[in-house]
Amino acid sequence: MEQEQRQSAGKIQNIILENRGKLSVSGVEEVLHFDEGTVILRTALGELSVHGEKLRVESLQVENGELSVTGRIGALSYAEESVGLWERLFG
């Protein structure tokens, strides 16, 4: 737990969900995938998946790392970072 806190120190991300219809995310590094049901982002704190219906990327400001999504948002989840074999053996 302490290691996770040290790793995320200095990384800032804000997520604002308004009435399950508008999502604003900061700290976005890259949009990996998007369609009407799923938006997958690489963020400062890991891979974030947004699931819902009729999802639409309203704006993406790459220079600021800000993204806005509208639609019916059903779930937000972070993917656990996988640890490679070499890191497990020698980490």
Q: What is the pTM of this model?
A: 0.76
Sign of CA dihedral 33, 50, 13, 26: positive
**pLDDT at 20 (0 to 100):** 96
CATH number of the domain bearing residue 72: 2.60.40.2000
Range of the domain at 63: 2-90
Total structural domains within the chain:
1
Per-residue tokens: 61 = 């400001």
Mean pLDDT across 27-32: 93
* Bridge pairing between strands 15-18 and 22-26: antiparallel
Residue 84 CA: distances (Å) to CA of 3, 14, 23, 28, 75: 17, 28, 32, 24, 28
Q: Provide the mean pLDDT of the chain.
A: 84
